[in-house]
Amino acid sequence: MTLAIPDFAQASVLVAGDIMLDRYWTGQTGRISPEAPVPVVRIAGVEDRPGGAGTVAVNLASLGVSTDLVAVTGDDEAAVSLERLLGARGIRSEFVTAADLPTITKLRVLSRNQQLIRLDFEEPMNATGVGPGLRDAMERYLDTVGALILSDYGKGALEEVSTMISAARHAGVPVLVDPKGSDFSRYHGATVVTPNLAEFEAVVGPCPDERTLIERARRLCADLDLGHLLITRSEKGMTLVSADGQLVHLPAEAREVFDVTGAGDTVIAVTGAGLALGLPAGEAAALANLAAGIVVGRLGVASVTQGELRHALHQAGKGGRSVVDEDELLALISESRLRGERVVMTNGCFDILHAGHVTYLEEAKALGNRLVVAVNDDESTRRLKGPDRPVNSLEDRMLVLAGMASVDWVVPFCDDTPEALICRVLPDVLVKGADYKPDQIAGGECVRNNGGEVRVLSFREGRSTSAIIERLRG
């Protein structure tokens, strides 16, 4: 399978299901209450995040997908907070209001990165009549979306799930379900159902080996008229079993696993976005697996961007070094700084790479942890060096640089100077050769104003691209 990152901005996806507000109160604790043997937490921060179906919607929006969400909430402050948080992400929300129910809220109190207690504010939705309202709201979107994702947390909003699936199928819209419970018959006719291994085994029984898992998955697809089962299996990756006999196993992409929270939401979001774009289920699942490998390497519920996916795909094929565009580079640097890494940046044409370049780039890399090399495109090189340059194309120059042990990321730019790019990247160290003075270096002022430093390194005597060209000309 040849994998490419599509333009997710062309996709439109509707999310429907159980939504909740995840609320985090954080602070310091240094004493025990005199009233009871419990820690006293001095609250210093409050953060609200969309949870449940809201997390799926946030994952979609992070990719650039046009995202709508319909859900059931109460008529309260938590619903207002959810609407605001979703709107800030560009997500259009429509809430079916159950005035006699609270918006499901999960309040976590944390201190020193430890959760001390969780307080749940919710009432059962059974027999409240919210199901038909959510179904009706969902149906109004079916003519305008490319996929429907049903996020089932067992809270009761999806009591009409069977009817919703039928309506989506009738409209020709792929429908994906994140399931709950031990009875999957209510998801009859869905395009994709995405259980984790424990959820799958709760329905079909223990699967001690691959053969059993695949046989039971195929039987479940046939019994429930499912298009595909996408089973997430932690360190064993993901397995896609399809009604047409297709079997795809995707090994885990994560190098380090810090937190699996929300990984299932990422998987169904990316898979849904892929199907909305018309991708085959295998390709959509492979993209989802790539995204899951990113989010489990972070603490807390996370989402991925299109640039991060492109970078991860580059890394898979380039051993961790890559030619990137500007957006990818910014995403990579953001992650690098979270790890406490020091970013060094330089630029040039690098037309014919020689020993002087090699030494220079090695010295630059020694000033930090990551080295970014910005390269003039062909047009800007001609403007700077003359009509006979460059000797080598931009693609070739970047590929050679990306193969060097000292270089982490190579990015092109089209202006005469990389000042605009440097002022966006804001490296910790900006480096140029000795033919420049520090106050002449493009982007230097931005770097210094941000607390970084500008360094000048010497070139090896007698080593230059121009000298090489002259020798070749004889």
The answer to whether 435 and 459 have CB atoms below 8 angstroms apart is yes
Q: Characterise 386 by phi-psi region: left (phi > 0), alpha (psi -120 to 50), beta (else).
A: left
Which residues have a catalytic role annotated?
265
The answer to whether 346 and 432 have CB atoms below 8 angstroms apart is yes
CA-nearest of 227, 203, 202 to 285 is 227
Distance CA 7, CA 24 (A): 34
Distance CA 474, CA 464 (A): 16
| Pairing state between β 175-178 and 247-250 | unpaired
- State the CB neighbour count (10 A cutoff) for residue 170: 10
DSSP 99-166: TTSPPPEEEEEEETTEEEEEEEE----TTSSHHHHHHHHHHTTTTT-SEEEEE--SSSTTTTHHHHHH
The answer to whether 402 and 318 have CB atoms below 8 angstroms apart is yes
